[in-house]
Chain A
Amino acid sequence: MNRRGQWLAIALVAAGAALAGFAFNAWRSAPQAAAADATAALLDARLPDLDGRPQAVQQWNGRVIVVNFWATWCAPCRDEIPILVKLQEKHGPRGLQFVGIAIDQPDKVRPYATEMRMNFPILIGGAETIELTRKLGNRAGVLPFTVIISRDGRIVAREIGAAKEAQLEAQLLPLL
């Protein structure tokens, strides 16, 4: 094999590699398309609150809704709760509405919510809620997972992992 052949072989491998990478990427970003249906499903969801009364997420339509999926057993989730409480306090009057959906047991959540003085509604989610978050873009099914829904009911941001205060606030301000 001569030098040309060598380059040909390298080019072939490179092309194969690029194709594999491209296909893999396309495959990974595909779930976003399905997210529109999932948004509707989230807004349609009715989940029990801490007193067991079913609450529709829709009741907060028209405000900027930040749905935060969390649990008390999830340390990174607990880290971000004070930030959410603070931002709710600060921007609530301007139409910001945090909604916490805990993948947890109500009697674990209740004392925690009291202790942290959580000032936004908390709903309790189950297995189907986890499925819903997967459709919303949380492929691996992890917590915390946060979606920001604009006043006109579109998901404008989703975040896996705990939010940083400044970053979250910067995302929210233009929407308010």
Chain B
Amino acid sequence: MMKIRHPGAGRGPVTRLWIPAVVAMTILALLLAAPLRAAEPDLLEPDKAFRFSARVVAADAIELRYLVAPGYYLYRDKFRFRIEPETVQPGTPDLPPGEKKKDEFFGEVQTYRGEVRFRLPITNTASADAITLTATSQGCADVGVCYVPHDQTARLNLASAAVQPSSGAQAERGAQAGLGAAVRPEPVEGGTAATPADRFAVSNDDSAIARLFDGGVALLIASFFGFGLLLSFTPCVLPMVPILSGIIVGRGTQLTKTHALLLSGAYVLGMAITYAVAGVLAGLSGAMLSAALQNAWVLGSFAAIFVLLSGAMFGFYELQLPSALQTRLAVATNRLHGGHFAGVFAMGALSALIVGPCVAAPLAAALLYISKSGDVVLGGSALFAMALGMGVPLMVVGASAGTLMPKVGPWMETVKRFFGVLLLGVAIYLVAPLVPIAVEMLAWAALLVITGIHLRAIDPLPAGAHSFDRIAKGVGVIALVAGIAFVVGALSGSRDVLQPLAGLRSAASAPETAGAPLFTRVASADELDRAIASARGRPVMLDFYADWCVSCKEMERYTFTNAQVKTRMDAIAKLQVDVTANTAEHQALLRRFRLFGPPGIVFFDGDGREIDGLRVIGFQPADRFGKVLDQVLAFERTTAASAR
């Protein structure tokens, strides 16, 4: 067990770092970012104004979803769809009726706002395992501008009916080789051209945070419910539950258990609705600022705020609403009477506003988190679920008259610290795309080792240790060992967070790599065209390399040496441009592929056309790069099949 220090007890006046201060500061930062040129409306990038996703819903149909930002709309009759390979054909989309709008030139036009989903039938699906859908849409903003026809792509896997949104999957670790790679705009989405605005973009997928819970919305909501439940076991919530229960049920009245349960339910529901509103607001602010939320600096400050918030959970300082406000809310609550549904419901709604010291930091973090995802529906439902989780002990007490409650004790402090560790973990996750992988690994190592030490991993257990202490120590030892593995891995050159010690393995089996040069060097566009032509029938991989490019060397050392990658690369013609000298020809080549410099790997199919959406920018570990090569080879097979 950790040493317990009750916050506030035996210390000077409790200091409060106000949530409003933190939140206001964040909003201020984003407002500072508003454009200085007054004449220009602050427009979203089309990918943000019209967020696109697609999934396979049946053997012969794709569901497309556009999430249109508030103040923007899409034209119903301007969608166009294209599918690669061309053997698979899009049918007529099943477009829902839109909002009618009078247009003096075209007559009546229909537009979509908010969310629009529709089915797109596809034919001849047996001819391909995976397809790339390019959806062209046209829309406008209410401020009085229209977007030029805009292409968005999704790569869909027909075989397993699972979807890889092309924006996220490829870009995911693309920027990991350090900030140098992160500032390189990369049109991973085939049709979306790189713009200067992408310069600081971490990846094209701004819901990086949502990927934390890759299992989807249900899992995210379940997690928030779980966090809520855990939050109710923190030292400033659990001891209050029986008292609160007494107030809710109304003292002195004889009630059946069912009635008490229903009253508690009304209270929890009131609380949950307030939380849901907060979640929706956070989601809305995120949706409006989603372009800004991709920015490296903004991600960095978010991470810094998470670190600050974690301090509150470790008891370095206290974070709660100003006490004057808390008192006023408490007085308002006391005026309401327990025992009546409406009164109890209002009490719950008000109580959500009284944010205590244990809940404030995780709640602020949850709101930041939601605003990062920019998803209004998700924000509302996640916070609602969290409040329901927090309400569970109250319901249990209401129903069981207190018999089912865990004993109040110092273990609650551990729960609080758990949230501190969780917040630090999220902070590392947020900055992970911005820092070199080695730094990320060392950060994880630090977090794990310190957590392990806190769980007394290396302290001796007293003879009559409670089994809970023994479990805690076990967890501590695991964390410590994992942390050490990260340190060893990072220092031995592993660049894969999921396999920190993989570096040791490949170093041991690496010595035979100094064979024939892997790549054929090309130096100009003409040479490249000739080399691609002479590779006829085989796909081509073109690697941009320079002596100063660290991630290029990492690729050579860790990825290209991998046996599985090697086998796949045997089927591909491998070309390399060494742009160290940076001649005019090199620059022309970089321009042709819209690259600013190495690292960058471009793939061509057997007919010498570039395969869109499969570029590799920055370091990729062997398993991920192997998957890209699989796609290149699969693409090859489908084009060969269609040629037959």
Contact = CB atoms under 8 A, between A and B. Distances in A.
B152 to A, nearest CB: 13
A19 B297 contact: yes
B25 A13 contact: yes
Interface in B66-112: 75, 78, 103-106
B43 A134 contact: no
Interface residues of A, number: 52
A6 B78 CA distance: 55
A2 interface: yes
B177 interface: no
A140 B297 contact: no
Contacts of B146: 71, 73-77, 142-144
Contacts of A14: 25, 28
Interface in B446-462: none
A3 B15 contact: yes
B445 interface: no
Interface in B117-167: 138, 140-141, 143-148, 150
A20 B15 contact: no
Given A6-B17, A74-B146, A28 B35 contact: yes
A159 interface: yes
A143 B143 CA distance: 11
Interface residues of B, number: 59
B41 A17 contact: no
A73 B78 CA distance: 10
A21 B318 CA distance: 27
Interface stretch (A29-37, A46-54, A59-67, A87-95): A29-37
Contacts of B144: 76, 79, 161-162
Contacts, number: 161
Interface in A3-22: 3, 5-6, 9-10, 12-14, 16-22
A23 interface: yes
B223 interface: no
A140 B295 CA distance: 16
Given A73-B146, A139-B45, A142-B141, A24 B195 contact: no
Interface of B: 12, 15-17, 21-22, 25-26, 28-33, 35-37, 39-41, 43-46, 49, 75, 78, 103-106, 138, 140-141, 143-148, 150, 193, 195-197, 199-200, 292, 295, 297-298, 300-301, 304-305, 308, 316-318
Given A17-B28, A31-B196, A75-B105, 8 more contacts: A16-B300, A21-B29, A30-B196, A74-B140, A78-B104, A112-B105, A140-B49, A141-B147
8 contacts: A1-B17, A14-B25, A14-B28, A21-B28, A24-B32, A24-B297, A140-B43, A143-B148
5 pairs of A and B residues whose beta carbons are closest in the complex: A21-B32, A17-B29, A1-B317, A24-B33, A74-B146
